[in-house]
Structure 1
Amino acid sequence: MTPTLTLEIPGNQEYRTLRSAAGLSMMTEEGAALGLPASWCSVCVRHEGELIGMGRVVGDGGLFLFVVDIAVAPAWQGQGLGRRIMQALMDEVHARAPVRTMVALIADGTAHALYAKFGFKLVAPGAHGMLLRLS
């Protein structure tokens, strides 16, 4: 059975479980409870009901959007699911966001090669991404 991709927000626990399994940093239950419902756009890939891939876009919807949470369960990596997730998110961005909206992301490892296929460009040395994680 082929995994199905839908526009939906993942549940709190399954979101946190998939992030961890995919090697992304762990998020708190409280943070997920606040953040997930505020998604501008979210997609889930499921196989027999289990969340095996996801991605979200967050932001104000008009000026700035940020692609986050692109994750695929290890057993499903290398099968094009990351590309399917990005395509679905970018289809929504192009359909709904106004012209000149800035869409950004932070690419871990070699993921920048995937994102480049969707028009994203590395900004260094002209600019540098920065991150502050509250502790």
Structure 2
Amino acid sequence: MTYTFHAETPSVDDYRRLRAISGLSIKSEEAALRGLPNTCHAVVARADGRTVAMGRVIGDGGCHFQIVDMAVEPEHQGRGIGKRIFADLVAWLRETAPDTAYVSLIADGDARHLYSKQGFEPVMPASIGMAMWVHGFPGRADGLREA
């Protein structure tokens, strides 16, 4: 199968679908409509004209950037697509971001191995990543995360 890569923000429908099927948290249509226009840079991969993977850079455009939404449809995983998207995002940051910019990401599971190949390092013990869900964890009425 041939994949094409495009420097563009995914559509709302593709964004929501890719997050859901790749195991990322679900985002509402309202959240996607608000958030996607604030993308600094994004890359999507297509197979036969259909978006099958994505990754985005968000941030303030100068001081702080974060790599988010790395998602590949399960049937297309293991083919280097995520690696290529991530490399493209990092290349854009190296070309665009000021020298003192801070770039962060959250590495789930084995993804940390991919990220470390591009120069990302754990920040612990000096720092620890923290997060909160504004209205509780998606999918549970009580807002608690499944154990």
TM bucket normalised to smaller: over 0.9
Paired residue for 1:134?
134
- Once the two structures are superposed, the pairs formed by residues 37-116 of structure 1 within 5 Å of their partners are 37-116=37-116
SS of the residue aligned with 1:52?
strand
Bigger radius of gyration: 2
Gapped regions of structure 1 (runs ≥ 5)? none
Aligned to 2:140: none
- Residue 11 (structure 1) shift: 0.7
* Residue 32 of structure 2 is aligned to residue 29 of structure 1: no
- Distance in 2 separating the partners of 1:52 and 1:44: 8
Identical columns (%): 44
Q: Give, in whole Å, the separation in 1 of the partners of 2:110 and 2:128.
A: 17
Q: Distance in 2 between matches of 1:87 and 1:106?
A: 16
- Structure 1 CA distance for aligned equivalents of residues 69 and 41 of structure 2: 11
CA distance in 2 between counterparts of 1:93 and 1:80 reads 20
Name segments (4+ residues, structure 1) moved above 4 Å. none
State the TM-score, normalizing by the size of structure 1. 0.97
* Deviations 1:11-34 (CA, angstroms, capped at 9, x unpaired): 101110011111111001001001
Please name the residue that 2:141 is paired with.
none
* Displacement after TM superposition at 1:51 (Å): 1.0
d(CA) in 2 for partners of 1:91, 1:126:
27
Count residues with an aligned counterpart.
Answer: 135
Which residue identity does 1:28 align to in structure 2? S
Q: Which runs of 5+ in 2 are unaligned?
A: 136-147
* C-alpha RMSD over aligned residues: 0.7
